[in-house]
Structure 1
């Protein structure tokens, strides 16, 4: 009875919260904006891996190795290093499309507004935009800029402040002139914001956002306590049938990608990696082992101890997808959703794995994530190897984590399997 009351309390609290997050147009645009940039980010990450192949510097001369890295460097410099630009375009595009307006103008106006607010000087040389401002450092300013520019543009269009061309004018020309006044007014407001900030101690809005918002949030998001809370929330959302990963990523991706980019810059420079918790910490060492909850270990355990026909068939069904970190067959087939028998391992295992992974990296036993974005469908072991900059320890850590998950799940899965087996015998 007490358990039912607790479940009802969680359901009454979490379901409205998750529904509000899922249906929020800004979080949806933010999530979809990152999805627009993802192929470019993965492309750059692939060439970071290729440019830093293990032992290559010992096989060829230092001059040849330097030339090799310089030849491949533009691939990441033109994608990963300035990923903020692609995210901004994606957010502006998606939010404008949500309002049913010409989406491409939403994307380019967001980018132009961001560039107006971005410092255009590098080491006292005017007219030069530092790439750091277009990447992690400018990420939060870009997000706010994309939201505000889309809203301003929508406001002016809905007021009818547009130039209407006569019939017979080509559609492309008509749309261009129709967008002229809203774009002009929107960008003028951002220019005014830039001028106003030049009279403050921050000098630029980017410095203001970075100091007041981005830096504190990044520090908070990189800590172990916040990470454990985030992991628990993800598991709870999934337990109630909500896509916890999408909900959580919508809020925390800007923080994790910023931390990821900081590690990538340090990795490419051969410096000490500053962060343990990054986007790839979450994606490779938690999600990247069979999906949310690391259910590939559960599938292996099903093959090892399963007696019931239901679990055996579920294992066969879920294994091919689970290898590529797709675990909906297990989540809905075991089932995990609203199943009180497995809530303990479902919640406990990711927290234990988070602690093991964090402290293994903090102690230097395993290299920290190198900032390389590994596609989430990459199978475990290989996933950990790539995420840590081609370090074998990353793959070993994933293997150890899978064994830990199996140990935690073992007694609970045996109970579930016995229930299914007894029911099958009775029906037979």
Structure 2
């Protein structure tokens, strides 16, 4: 066991540290955080617009009018969430370098719009919302990175217009950003012109065909999902926030898959994907936090004899209900504790397999693409994430039972040790 832990520490710790401190992944993660309140707002109204059995309680015309009235809430947020992520990434990229962050956000957005075809069904001046959402997110991410880097490089070269001392600060900053923004956007305009002479015609088609589509297929598969879940657990075991590190890489893929399901759900079509953002967040992380420690808290209340276990259960339960599990991770403890490494690694993988095959066989509906806030308690979150279906809640209860059974003997051993130590100390 010690040798295994030593290998994990020597191999994974340096990698995790680099990922955690990488400025691009940090900007990507923080960019999604900028968009998150808007995404959650849109998701809440998707749930409200699709209350179960409502279409049976009111007339067809009334139901259509009801959905049309609430539709703009998701159309103006979820359907174009790529725009918010782009602004967030550009903002955070420039902010990291100590620059005028707001111009990083707007130059990233403008660069993306320059690359975006503004024609739909031969009507010019129209941008399809599909390219502003999941389909265009990969291009938006790359564009935001590159635009922010070019902008900041030009600012560092001091190619700026300097206004006299008496000019108001807002005006001076605006003129100072003029040349860096103009040169940055000129680069992207040139890229658009160049791609118009290629077989792809647009950068969107190039990115989607050669990069986004293959990565999305890979990320939607079970093997990649199991690897992601395992990495989250391993990083946390060594005291690193595994969710943040892994999500920085996988979130663009999972959100794209999520959006595909949401579009199908709203259109009343079959949902295409099992693995989505909500597959991970609701049916694994959303059951007490990383490692699904709500079941661990239940186990502590069931078997706890030692004062340490009892107090830890009281401390961890209130936050654990809302999927905040730092009291358990640091109090049990889980970090660097060889006694818990087996259930800590194994339980989420088993749950991921059970969840995947439950949805693949149709026993439980696939996630409907609704972004449920991560603090939503288990059972309710499963119900909402599957489009208000009771089997989503049932699956979460099954998952809690699985984790409880796997952890039970290990908690017994730990509690016995703590109890003996307390007796000896008396």
Whether the TM-score (by the shorter chain) exceeds 0.5 is yes
CA distance in 2, matches of 1:92, 1:41: 18
Equivalent residue in structure 1 for 2:369, among 368, 371, 379: 371
CA distance in 2, matches of 1:350, 1:361: 16
- Per-residue deviation, 1:21: 0.5
- Per-residue deviation, 1:6: 1.9
Matches within 5 A, 1:180-199: 180-199=178-197
- Per-residue deviation, 1:176: 0.6
The aligned counterpart of 2:46 is 48
CA distance in 2, matches of 1:39, 1:61: 33
| Residue segments in structure 1 that go unaligned for 5+ positions in a row | none
- For 1:209-254, what per-residue CA distance to the aligned partner results, in whole angstroms no more than 9, with x for missing partners? 1111100100000000110011001000000010000000111100
Matches within 5 A, 1:395-410: 395-410=393-408
- Per-residue deviation, 1:13: 0.9
Q: Secondary structure at the match of 1:29?
A: helix
- TM-score calculated relative to the size of structure 2: 0.99
Matches within 5 A, 1:123-162: 123-162=121-160
CA distance in 1, matches of 2:67, 2:2: 59
Q: Secondary structure at the match of 1:350?
A: helix
CA distance in 2, matches of 1:412, 1:325: 22
- Per-residue deviation, 1:120: 1.0
The aligned counterpart of 2:73 is 75
CA distance in 2, matches of 1:167, 1:336: 58
CA distance in 2, matches of 1:19, 1:408: 30
The aligned counterpart of 1:239 is 237
- TM-score calculated relative to the size of structure 1: 0.99
The aligned counterpart of 2:411 is 413
Q: Secondary structure at the match of 1:397?
A: helix
- For 1:325-354, what per-residue CA distance to the aligned partner results, in whole angstroms no more than 9, with x for missing partners? 000000000000111111111011000100
CA distance in 1, matches of 2:134, 2:3: 44
Q: CA RMSD in A?
A: 0.6
- Per-residue deviation, 1:119: 1.3
- Per-residue deviation, 1:5: 2.0
CA distance in 2, matches of 1:294, 1:151: 39
Q: Are 1:99 and 2:107 an aligned pair? A: no
- For 1:41-84, what per-residue CA distance to the aligned partner results, in whole angstroms no more than 9, with x for missing partners? 00000000000000000000000000000000000000000000
- Per-residue deviation, 1:123: 1.3
Q: Secondary structure at the match of 1:335?
A: coil
CA distance in 2, matches of 1:166, 1:197: 41
CA distance in 1, matches of 2:99, 2:344: 43
The aligned counterpart of 2:58 is 60
Q: Are 1:389 and 2:377 an aligned pair? A: no
4+ residue runs over 3 A deviation: none
The aligned counterpart of 1:171 is 169
